[in-house]
């Protein structure tokens, strides 16, 4: 008979309330509810948990960033083919709840069971969690760790009635060799893991990140946030020796598990591993030692402690706070790695393209050689942000260095590191053709709006559109243009009018910026660039912004030609991937310094387009593709936009 879970057990496993479980059952999200016994088939609960973690339940995607502060989750979606059967974890959670057992003691007796099965100790009695002197140990290093753990638990007696059952449960295999770390994470409530930014790394990610790390003689490897030692175990499997592996972590229990894991991985060694319980960001637990490899999955959490941020900023000479802890770990990794050493971290994908991470991107792009970026997708149960692996060399890049990009959605490709701009970041899903086009445009001699002396004017925010906007012709006001009326090259007739009284508006630019003889008007809320040339001095609402560029810097009608072209739609999408047209993004788009004949042809095409001749649209992209040297495949991609 298939295992059945109570509503409470299903709620704990999914990390939601019992009311939510009932709601999901009624709405068909969670299937198989057996009303007679008030139970769910365990397989249906596991199936839903995996689907949520993978983002395959659209109706629940709005929950993606909610924190399940009181629930449990398995560290990553359990898969029977990996041996990650969650049934034992559910039984242990049930024991903790029903008998009010200490999860730390549960983990301790499970470690004893694992060590007994590995032949590391022989208890004097069938169940002997107190470690009496009669216990026989194969290695003194293991005995020392376990006796210290038992002492630190601070529990005078571990009742056989309470802890015999957790001890006697068979050790079920999990994917990877870190069984204790997997159980530790599974028995921690999700809220505590989220707060710490600490998540169990899937074994396949560990294997891929430790692959290719050659353990040359004299080399050392450090994980500055090693937890239970997953990456150290991965390095051991890749051929690194016991004495080459080093780890630091703030969590003494996780560090104990790491020590046991390493000793189990090296059964012929009877010595304590090179592990330190310390803060890797603020201390030097290994003195001035530097490492050939620094690897790991640093905490992703936001730094809420103001005093800690100030201490970190003083140590790392930062003028501004980094918003998340992984940025400081990247700085620390640079200091811990030898010049030319490898830094390989698992990080949130946001580091590549979110604006608040521009400062750390800038430092890494200037000071490190980016060997590779690999997209990993959503890898953590209950965490819906994507993950990437970033592979760096602790040395500045050569001018022609190319980054190896591996996206889940497409083929591998290379990207010139110097073509990346910290402010815009990198959308690795854009693909090799898009990035090749961006490189060609970036290499062509150009200027940008950032240095143009341009003036920018937001559209009017009335504070009450129902009050201020009237249909055109109602009371004799003047037309005001909304974003929807901004069309490529030209403005469509305004549908509303307004009586211009800037003192009564919530927000209004200086009037002269609306009234200039020539300006560009563009849609603000849009996934495409839509620019019109206004020569009538019209007012605009806040969905349509205004740009005035000095003619001597770059003719505005040429900017309209460029920004409305298929080529620039592709550049905008592949660089910024946003639904808002931001000034900071526009200031990064290249304005090519074309030779006079090309400028003249584009200027003539602009005049035709401003006059309403749509036949000139395709010719614009032909001219741009020719002068910029696009391939046939790249031209096809541009025409699709």
Q: What is the mean pLDDT of each run of 10 residues along the chain (641 residues)?
A: 70 69 80 77 77 59 39 46 57 79 85 89 67 76 92 72 74 68 76 50 90 92 96 96 97 94 96 96 94 94 68 73 83 96 93 84 94 81 72 96 82 80 69 84 93 94 91 90 96 95 92 97 94 96 97 96 95 83 92 96 96 92 95 88 63
**Cα 401 to chain center, whole Å?**
24
d(CA 371, CA 202): 22
Residue 354 per-residue DSSP state: -
d(CA 20, CA 37): 19
pLDDT of res. 173: 60
- Nearest by Cα to 574 from 456, 453, 405, 455: 405
Query: 388: buried, middle or exposed (CB in 10 Å: 19+, 13-18, 0-12)?
Result: buried
d(CA 508, CA 385): 37
pLDDT of res. 171: 67
Token reading at 295: 């690897």
What angle (nearest 5°) sits at the alpha carbon of residue 299, between those of residues 295 and 300? 115
- Nearest by Cα to 478 from 539, 522, 532, 533: 539
List phi, psi (to 5°) of 224.
-75, -5
Q: Is the dihedral of CA 394, 396, 400, 405 positive or negative?
A: positive
Contact status, residue 239 vs residue 311, Cβ threshold 8 Å? no
List phi, psi (to 5°) of 394.
-80, 60
- How far lies 418's CA from each of 293, 318, 403, 445, 539, in Å? 24, 24, 10, 15, 41
d(CA 384, CA 274): 34
Token reading at 22: 């009932």
List phi, psi (to 5°) of 317.
55, 45
pLDDT of res. 302: 66
d(CA 608, CA 615): 9
Strands (E), 378-510: 387-393, 402-406, 413-416, 446-447, 455-457, 470-471, 478-481, 496-498
pLDDT of res. 55: 54
Residue 63 per-residue DSSP state: G
Taking the CB of residue 154, how many other CB atoms lie within 10 A of it? 8
Could you write out the DSSP letters of every residue in 149-193? HHHHH--S---HHHHHHHHHS-----SSS-HHHHHHHHHS-HHHH
Taking the CB of residue 497, how many other CB atoms lie within 10 A of it? 20
Strands (E), 524-599: 531-534, 539-540, 544-548, 591-592
Order of strands, sheet of 539-540, starting from the edge strand that comes earlier in the sequence: 470-471, 496-498, 478-481, 539-540
Q: Which helix (H) or strand (E) holds 221?
A: strand 221-223
- How far lies 151's CA from each of 73, 106, 131, in Å? 29, 15, 10
- Nearest by Cα to 209 from 277, 100, 295: 295
Taking the CB of residue 581, how many other CB atoms lie within 10 A of it? 22
Token reading at 500: 């211009």
Token reading at 516: 């200039």
Residues with Cβ within 8 Å of 67's Cβ and at least 6 positions away in sequence, in order, are 190, 191, 194
**pTM recorded for the entire structure:** 0.67
Q: Is the dihedral of CA 541, 544, 545, 550 positive or negative?
A: negative
Q: In residues, how long is the chain?
A: 641
Kindly list the structural domains of the chain, giving each domain's residue range(s) and its CATH number in brackets, ordered by start.
1-64 (1.10.1660), 197-427 (3.40.50.150), 450-639 (3.90.220.10)
Q: Please list the helix, strand and coil fractions of the chain in percent, rounded to the nearest 5, in that order.
A: 45, 15, 40
Token reading at 33: 């509810």
Token reading at 610: 């401003």
Token reading at 106: 């549960």
Residue 339 per-residue DSSP state: E
Q: Is 437 strand, coil or helix? A: helix
Token reading at 57: 């339940």
d(CA 493, CA 111): 75
pLDDT of res. 78: 43
């Amino acid at each position: 008979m298939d295992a059945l879970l109570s509503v409470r057990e299903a709620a704990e496993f999914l990390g939601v309330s019992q009311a939510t479980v009932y709601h999901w059952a009624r709405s068909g999200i969670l299937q198989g509810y057996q009303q007679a016994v008030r139970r769910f088939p365990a397989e249906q609960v596991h199936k839903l948990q995996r689907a949520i973690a993978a983002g395959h339940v659209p109706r629940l995607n709005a929950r993606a960033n909610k924190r399940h502060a009181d629930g449990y989750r398995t560290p990553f979606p359990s898969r029977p083919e990996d041996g990650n059967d969650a049934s034992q974890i559910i039984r242990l959670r049930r024991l903790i709840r029903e008998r009010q057992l200490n999860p730390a003691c549960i983990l301790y007796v499970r470690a004893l069971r694992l060590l007994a099965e590995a032949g590391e100790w022989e208890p004097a009695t069938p169940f002997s969690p107190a470690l009496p002197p009669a216990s026989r140990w194969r290695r003194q290093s293991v005995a020392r760790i376990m006796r210290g753990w038992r002492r630190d638990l601070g529990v005078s007696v571990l009742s056989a009635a309470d802890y015999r059952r957790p001890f006697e449960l068979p050790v079920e295999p999990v994917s990877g060799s870190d069984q204790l770390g997997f159980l530790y994470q599974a028995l921690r409530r999700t809220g505590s893991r989220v707060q710490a930014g600490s998540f169990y790394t899937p074994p396949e990610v560990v294997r891929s990140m430790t692959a290719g790390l050659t353990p040359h003689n004299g080399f050392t490897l450090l994980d500055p946030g090693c937890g239970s030692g997953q990456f150290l175990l991965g390095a051991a499997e890749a051929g690194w020796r016991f004495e080459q592996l080093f780890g630091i972590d703030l969590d003494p229990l996780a560090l104990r598990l790491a020590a046991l894991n390493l000793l189990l991985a090296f059964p012929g060694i009877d010595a304590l591993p090179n592990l330190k319980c310390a803060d890797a960001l603020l201390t030097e637990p290994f003195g001035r030692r530097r490492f050939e490899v620094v690897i790991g999955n640093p905490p992703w959490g936001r730094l809420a402690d103001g005093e800690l941020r100030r201490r970190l900023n003083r140590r790392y000479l930062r003028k501004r706070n980094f918003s998340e802890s992984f940025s400081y770990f990247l700085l620390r990794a640079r200091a811990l790695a030898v010049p030319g050493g490898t830094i390989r971290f698992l990080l949130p994908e946001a580091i590549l393209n979110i604006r608040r991470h521009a400062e750390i991107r800038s430092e890494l792009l200037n000071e490190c050689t980016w060997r590779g970026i690999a997209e990993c997708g959503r890898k953590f149960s209950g965490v819906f942000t994507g993950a990437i692996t970033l592979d760096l060399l602790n040395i500045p890049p050569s001018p022609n260095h190319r980054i190896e990009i591996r996206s889940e959605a497409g083929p591998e490709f290379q990207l010139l590191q110097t073509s990346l701009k910290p402010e815009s970041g990198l959308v690795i899903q854009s693909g090799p053709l898009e990035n090749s086009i961006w490189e060609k445009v970036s290499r062509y001699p150009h200027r940008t709006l950032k240095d143009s002396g341009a003036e920018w004017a937001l559209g009017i925010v009335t504070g009450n559109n129902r009050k201020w906007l009237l249909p055109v012709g109602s009371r004799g006001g003047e037309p005001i243009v909304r974003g929807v009326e901004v069309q490529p090259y030209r403005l469509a007739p305004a549908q509303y009018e307004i009586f211009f009284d800037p003192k009564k508006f919530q927000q209004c630019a200086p009037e002269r910026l609306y009234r200039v003889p020539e300006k560009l008007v563009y849609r603000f809320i849009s996934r495409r660039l839509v620019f019109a040339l206004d020569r009538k001095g019209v007012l605009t609402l806040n969905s349509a912004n205004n740009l005035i560029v000095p003619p001597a810097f770059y003719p505005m009608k040429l900017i309209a030609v460029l920004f409305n072209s298929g080529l620039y739609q592709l550049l905008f999408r592949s660089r910024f991937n946003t639904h808002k047209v931001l000034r900071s993004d526009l200031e990064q788009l290249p304005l090519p310094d074309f030779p006079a004949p090309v400028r003249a042809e584009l200027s003539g095409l602009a005049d035709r387009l401003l006059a309403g001749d749509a036949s000139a649209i395709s010719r614009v992209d032909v001219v741009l593709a020719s002068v910029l040297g696009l391939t046939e495949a790249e031209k096809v991609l541009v025409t699709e936009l």
